[in-house]
Structure formats: C-alpha cells, structure tokens
Amino acid sequence: MDQGASKSLAKEPSEEEFCLALRNGLILCNVLNKVNPGAIPKIVENPVIPVQSTEGPAQSAIQYFENMRNFLVAVKDMQLLTFEASDVEKGGSMNKVVDCILCLKGYYEWKKAGGIGVWRYGGTVKITALPKGSPPSLVGSESADDSLDGSESSQYEQLLEFLHLSNEVAIEESKTANALAFLFDRFGLWLLQAYLRESNEIEEFPLNAMVIDTLISKIVKDFSALLVSQGTQLGQFLKKILKTDFNSLSKSDFMEAISLYLGQRTSLASNDFFKFCICGGKREVIHQTVNHSTAYAQLIHLHQRELKEIKLDFQETKLGVKQIHSNWAEQLRRLEHHIKGLEVASSSYHKVLEENRMLYNQVQDLKGTIRVYCRVRPFLQGQTNGQSTVDYIGENGNIMIVNPLKQGKDARKVFSFNKVFGQNVSQEQIYIDTQPLIRSVLDGFNVCIFAYGQTGSGKTYTMSGPDMTTEQTWGVNYRALRDLFQISKERSDFIRYEVGVQMIEIYNEQVRDLLVMDGSNRRYPFPFSF
C-alpha cells in the first residue's frame, strides 16, 4: 500500500484530513483487499499529490475515480453496506462512509472467527458526535445536535483502530512484497539461466511466447516452492522458540533469535540455491549434491593442497632456472673476458712468432749462407783390406788426408769444412745440421742442398738413402719433405703452402731430370709441371 496514503491518515484526523485520506480510495481498497483478498485486483498506487498542489486535483481525480469505483463495486458485490462516491466529497454524508467501514470491520471479524453461518450486518450505525478533540464535522448531519453516548464513542474508536491496523498490515504486506520482488530480481536471472541450461540438451529449443510463459511459470512455481519450504522450516524453528521461551521472550529477543537463525542459514541457503540453479530446480539432484558435499569438499581440499604444492614446486623451479641463468651469464662473461685475453695473446703471439722467425733466419745467415759438409764413406764390402786415406777428423771441421804415395810434409794434407762426418755417422745425424734450413724455406728463404763427389762416393746414399721403405735409413730429401709437410700442416690455420718437388743431376755439365719415369733421358731445360 502506498505509504503516502497511510501517512495521510493521522492518529486523530480532522474531518478534512479524514476525507482527504479516504477520497483517493487507496486506503479503502487496501482495507477491502485485506478483508477479502483479491476483491480489487488492481489498485492505482500513483504517489499521492497533495490536493493543494497545482497538479493535485487532476491526479487525485484519477485515483479517486479508479480506486473509489472499484471499491464501491466490490463492496456492493459483497453485499455490504455501501455509499455514494460523492459522500466523501465536501458536504457529503460521512455517516454512510463510516457505516460502510464498520460493516467491513464486522465482516472481517466474522470471517476471522471462522465465518460460521451467514454473514449479516446488525444495522446502520449512527455517529452523532465524535470523541473529545475529534472534528465535529465527522458527525452525521441528521444527528448533529445529539450528544455523544459511550457506545457511539467506542464505535468511532474501533473504526479508527481498524483503519490504522489495516494500514499497518498493508505496509507490512508491501514490505514483504518488496522483499520478494527483490529476491526474485536478485535470483531470477540465475534461475532462468539454470532452466535454459537444462533445456540446452534439446536442439533448437523453440522460445516462443507459450514456451516462455511455461518456463517463467515453472520457475516461479519452483521458486515459490523453495520459499515455502524455507518458510516452513523457519516456522518450525519459531514454534520451537515459542514453546520454550514463550513467557519470557521479548519482541527484540524474538527478532534476534530469528536473525541468528537466518544468518546461520544464509550460507547454506545460498549454497542450496546456487545448486538449485545449477540443477535446474531438480530437487533430487540437489539432495544428491548436498549428500556428496562432504566428499566433494574433501576432494576440493585435496586438489587445493596439490595445487599449492605444485605452485611451490613451480616457484622453486623458477628460482632454480633463474639461478642457472645467472650462473650461465656469469660464465659467459668470464668466457668472453678469457677470449678477449686470448685474442690479445694471439695477436702478441703472432708478433713474437714473426720476430722469432726473423731472428732465426738471421742466425742461419750468420752461420753462413753457404755451408760445406764432408761425409766419409766407409769401405764397401770387399774393400775391408784397403787402407783408409783419412788420417784424422777434427772437431772443428778439419780432416787430415794421408797420401801414401808421397813422403814427408806433402804426405798429409788438412782440409777445412763446416763440419766433417765420420764413416759411422747415421743418416739422422747428417740431417740434424740441414734441418734448420728447411724451416727457412717455409719462411720465404731460398735454400739449395746438393751433394757433390766422385762416382760411388755416396751422394745418392746421403740424399735419398739405401732403403726408402725404412724411415731410419731415409736420406736428406725424404726427411726434408717430411718436415716441410709437417710444418705447413702446423701453420695451415693462417698460411697455405704449395709444395713442389724437382730432382736433377748435373753430370759432365749436363742437367738431367731424375724424376722422369718413362726411361727417357730428359735434359735441361725442361718445363715445370706445377
């Protein structure tokens, strides 16, 4: 019921206030609906605009005609005392209005008492005077001069009390309606979603007007059933309280107990309701869900714990990876530093190497660009009985030769060389003095080694060796080539060498190519093949 209307009826209203409060029909309609629910299906509840305002008359007129007409028609249908619409206007018969209200009260009390027998109203009530302080104009016109007796005063008080009580009830009902509307607004969407989700299984669910109506009414029905169930439980709880503390329970204690009970139920109820929505209102599913809730809770708890452990593991792994990254970065920094050091060292090394080469070759130069060595061949098989002409071999490269055909001073002659090798010197010892020159070749110096001597003196033996298959007997040529390839291989990272071989013989002032394999006697000059 409109609160403005209820407020418009003061505890002890003046005649004008009383008329104004009733004139828009709101109070009367609400009272009638309280007495006979549904008697007036629709009440115009536009905010009451004060009659004094400029819009007031028009607005009041609409409410008046709509509500008042409905009220009078309903009262007439119920065969109760009625009045004319003009009776609540200025100058109208308020007595008829008061009679109608008292008649309603009597009907309400009869109904409340069980509605036994046939309802009959006792008769017209005449109010000839109002209680002390009441507006005299409320008194019926015919009885204006009569004094107010006790029973009439009591009737008037009853009338006011009835109207006030009715208003209070209407206010509470309005609050309840608002609360229910709020509940439905709050959960209506969830419910609708739940039902539609349930209907998803049906392909191409036809959402026509009829289906929507059915769906909505089912939702409302189920929702109502849920509320009734909650209401029943609350009722049982209240009855239990009333049984135990009926005598001592104050109104505030009572409200506190209800508040506590509802507070405890809130989480469970909302949980149930949530499940109710999820299950599309299937109660058996809800119960199953509730029954299994403990197991689910344990399962969820377990999963949460595992999740927590995984998160911790993840954090540890993350830290580990971070640590490894940082170690790697540190090692990389060190490596870069080391490589830079090596680069510097390498560049210094090349400089030193170059210097070393230069000094080395200078030493070779100082040793002499032309060196002459003498090798004494031992007696060949069959010559063992012969006498050697070599008398003495000195350490400083001198050799003394004896000529048995001469006597005296001329019999001995000393020859000087860079070095003299005796008859027992090995091929390796011969090569040791030649080897440094091979390195000079690879540093860009021109080197020439040649053997000189008469036939059978051992030139081929010294330069090539008696047996190519045995490394130990290799002569200077093979050993020089081995060293050339070895050094060029060692320097392959920064120098590329090309090696070619030529072997010639100079005999009787004729130059002959010794590497010709076809048996021809190729003479110099001949073209190089590389």
Ligand X SMILES: Nc1ncnc2c1ncn2[C@@H]1O[C@H](COP(=O)(O)OP(=O)(O)OP(=O)(O)O)[C@@H](O)[C@H]1O
Only segment of 107-115, 193-201, 237-245, 377-385 that touches ligand X (CB under 6 A):
377-385
CB nearer to ligand X: pick between 280 and 465: 465
CB nearer to ligand X: pick between 359 and 380: 380
Annotated binding site for ATP: 453-460
Only segment of 54-62, 279-287, 373-381, 391-399 that touches ligand X (CB under 6 A):
373-381
Q: How far is the CB of 397 from ligand X (least distance, A)?
A: 18
Residues touching ligand X, count (CB under 6 A)? 12
CA nearest neighbour of 28 among 122, 104, 94: 104
Q: How far is the CB of 478 from ligand X (least distance, A)?
A: 15
CB nearer to ligand X: pick between 158 and 457: 457
Q: How far is the CB of 378 from ligand X (least distance, A)?
A: 5
Only segment of 7-15, 146-154, 219-227, 376-384 that touches ligand X (CB under 6 A):
376-384
Annotated binding site: 453-460
End-to-end CA distance of the chain: 123
CB nearer to ligand X: pick between 56 and 453: 453
CB nearer to ligand X: pick between 300 and 380: 380
Contact predicate 367/373, CB 8 Å:
no
Binding positions for ligand X, 212-251, rule CB under 6 A: none
Q: How far is the CB of 494 from ligand X (least distance, A)?
A: 40
Residue 462, token pair as written in the block = 């010294």
Q: How many CA atoms lie within 13 A of 85 on its CB side?
A: 14
Q: How far is the CB of 506 from ligand X (least distance, A)?
A: 11
Pick one of 380, 411, 449, 515: the residue that binds ligand X (CB under 6 A): 380
Q: How far is the CB of 433 from ligand X (least distance, A)?
A: 15
Q: How many CA atoms lie within 13 A of 318 on its CB side?
A: 6
CB nearer to ligand X: pick between 332 and 372: 372
CA nearest neighbour of 13 among 32, 29, 27: 27
Binding-residue pattern over the window 466 to 505 for ligand X, x denoting contact by CB under 6 A = x---------------------------------------
Q: How far is the CB of 395 from ligand X (least distance, A)?
A: 20
What letter does residue 472 receive in the DSSP assignment? G
Residue nearest to ligand X (CB): 458
Q: What is the 3-state secondary structure (H, E, C) of 396-435?
A: CCEEEEECCCCCHHHHEEEEECCEEECCCCCHHHHHHCCH
378 binds ligand X (CB under 6 A): yes
Q: How far is the CB of 514 from ligand X (least distance, A)?
A: 10
486-501 per-residue burial string, b: 16 or more CB within 10 A, e: under 16:
ebeeeeeeeeeeeeee
CB nearer to ligand X: pick between 450 and 528: 450
Contact predicate 21/11, CB 8 Å:
no
CB nearer to ligand X: pick between 231 and 453: 453
CA distances from 290 to 5, 225, 263, 296, 301 (A): 47, 18, 19, 10, 17
CB nearer to ligand X: pick between 247 and 455: 455
DSSP state letters, 337-390:
HHHHHHHHHHHHHHHHHHHHHHHHHHHHHHH-SS--EEEPPPPPTT-TTSPPSE
CB nearer to ligand X: pick between 341 and 422: 422
Binding positions for ligand X, 100-119, rule CB under 6 A: none
Residue 405, token pair as written in the block = 């055909």
Q: How far is the CB of 455 from ligand X (least distance, A)?
A: 4
With tokens 């059933």, the residue in question is: 225
Q: How far is the CB of 450 from ligand X (least distance, A)?
A: 12
Q: How far is the CB of 409 from ligand X (least distance, A)?
A: 31
The neighbour count for residue 286, using CB atoms within 10 Å, is 19
With tokens 């409060």, the residue in question is: 21
Only segment of 163-171, 240-248, 323-331, 449-457 that touches ligand X (CB under 6 A):
449-457
State the sign of the Cα–Cα–Cα–Cα dihedral 252, 256, 262, 266: positive
Amino acid identity at 317: T
For residue 47, whether the previous peptide bond is cis, meaning omega lies within 30 degrees of 0, is: no
Contact predicate 78/39, CB 8 Å:
yes
CA nearest neighbour of 149 among 133, 126, 166, 118: 126
Only segment of 44-52, 141-149, 248-256, 450-458 that touches ligand X (CB under 6 A):
450-458
Binding-residue pattern over the window 15 to 44 for ligand X, x denoting contact by CB under 6 A = ------------------------------
Only segment of 16-24, 249-257, 402-410, 451-459 that touches ligand X (CB under 6 A):
451-459
422 binds ligand X (CB under 6 A): no
Radius of gyration of the chain from Cα atoms? Answer: 67
CB nearer to ligand X: pick between 8 and 427: 427
CA distances from 464 to 430, 451, 458 (A): 12, 11, 10
Binding positions for ligand X, 452-471, rule CB under 6 A: 453, 455-461, 466
377 binds ligand X (CB under 6 A): yes
Residue 397, token pair as written in the block = 């490269």
Which residues sit opposite 504 in a β-bridge?
Answer: 513
Q: How far is the CB of 383 from ligand X (least distance, A)?
A: 10
Only segment of 13-21, 303-311, 316-324, 448-456 that touches ligand X (CB under 6 A):
448-456
- Looking only at the bridges linking them, the beta strands covering 412-416 and 419-421 are unpaired
Binding positions for ligand X, 134-193, rule CB under 6 A: none
Residue 346, token pair as written in the block = 């390498």
The residues of the shown chain that bind ligand X, judged by CB under 6 A, are 377-378, 380, 453, 455-461, 466
